[in-house]
Amino acid sequence: MLFDTFWALIFGFILSGAIQAFVTRSRMQELLGDHRPTTIARASFFGVISSSCSYAASALAHSIYRKGADFTASMVFMFASTNLVIELGIVLWLLIGWQFAVAEFVGGAVMIILLAIFMPKVVHTSQISKQISSSDQEEAVATSNPNLRSQLSASAGYTMGDFLMLRWELIAGFIVAGLATTLVPLHWWKILFISGHGFWSALENAFIGPVLAFISFVCSVGNVPLAAALWGAGITFGGVIAFIFADLLSLPLVVIYRKYYGNAIALRMTLLFWLIMAISGLVTEGIFTLLKQVPVRHNPLMAGNHFGLNATTILNAVALLLAGVIFYLYKNPPMDSESDFAQDPICGMQVRKSDAPATYLDGGKMYYFCMEGCKEGYIKRISAGS
């Protein structure tokens, strides 16, 4: 699985990094002040062109909400930035089939519509304290127009930052998928996923998919290999889609919601997310069934030897070369001017200084973080060392 998708992951990370380098958050916050249809469309667009990391997406959604964006629009942004991304679609296509790649966008649109309808009714933002600090209210410092070298360096920084944050998720995803496919007996999956009962099987599978995402601790692109293994083991098409959408329901992220918004709001968010993801998977399966485009089931563990002089090997070699260039740019930033970007010292993700979700002044030096959790981790680390 890793060999067949390596080039797609590299290309996806590079493209995502390039897009993020040219996107600022200040204008986004101004445009997401309500949850009207046009605003929801903007939030979806901003999400598509932003990071695909679930942890970063949750932090950014929280950050833009605190800085003035509507809560529902912030959640739509978070959903779009994890489920409507290029690298996810490419990996889905390679591992399971083009139908799953298309279903990602069809079901993602269904999810966003349902979220925009029900989130304002379920979560009342008057119960959430935005806790806007004085630094949040300050106008972002205007930056000079960067030259091409600076832009390339910024793109490389975002690419490496996304990879560094996602590396353990990706590793876990491939390992768990391999173990689930080879070690878990097929009849165990058949017990878990009801089959042969038409709509009731589709309904049960769609609701059990997010539960597996919750307990697997794997999110973002890392859950695609496990989704491929589940598809080969017998879960329905809609169940696979619901599982893929549930990257925002892994247990660590639910804990983060609890810290961001409090116990009551986090519980409502989690239950609503589960319902929306399951319904979206079910609706997507219904659409593809009507169009007779549900794919034929196959085992995701590719048989035979894929190593050799073939298209995949050549693409992997090109991707490896590009990864080397990105790493060089990342390690050798331009020295002619102060960078507008900084690296999170905990997770390694690159953040824009003007709109970093968290900052901390230590020894006269300002540190920038992708989320409050990384900031707290840094404070604990320096406290333990003192």
Query: What residue spans define the domains of the chain?
Result: 2-385
SS3 track for 34-52: CCCHHHHHHHHHHHHCCCC
Contact 21, 351 (CB under 8 A): no
Instruction: Give residue for tokens 């519509």.
Output: 113
Give pLDDT, residue 213: 77
Give pLDDT, residue 113: 94
Give pLDDT, residue 221: 67
What is the mean pLDDT of each successive set of 10 residues along the chain, which is 386 residues long?
71 69 62 84 82 67 75 89 78 84 90 92 68 37 55 78 68 70 68 76 86 71 76 84 86 77 86 93 92 74 56 83 88 66 75 76 85 83 77
Identify the DSSP state of 351: E
Q: Which distant-in-sequence residues (6+ apart) come within 8 Å of 341 by Cβ? A: 154, 157, 158, 350, 351, 352, 353
Residue 361: strand pairing partners: 366
Give pLDDT, residue 372: 76
Query: What is this structure's pTM?
Result: 0.64
Instruction: Give residue for tokens 């279903």.
Output: 103
As a whole number of angstroms, the distance between CA 166 and CA 371 comes to 15
Give pLDDT, residue 303: 43
Cα–Cα–Cα angle for 348, 88, 199, rounded to 5 degrees: 135
Residue type, 21: A
Give pLDDT, residue 115: 93
Cα 303 from chain centre: 30
Give pLDDT, residue 131: 41
Give pLDDT, residue 8: 66
Give the residue among 77, 25, 24, 75 at the shortest CA–CA distance from 47.
77
The CA-atom distances, in angstroms, between 273 and each of 24, 41, 115, 120, 246 are 27, 19, 8, 13, 8
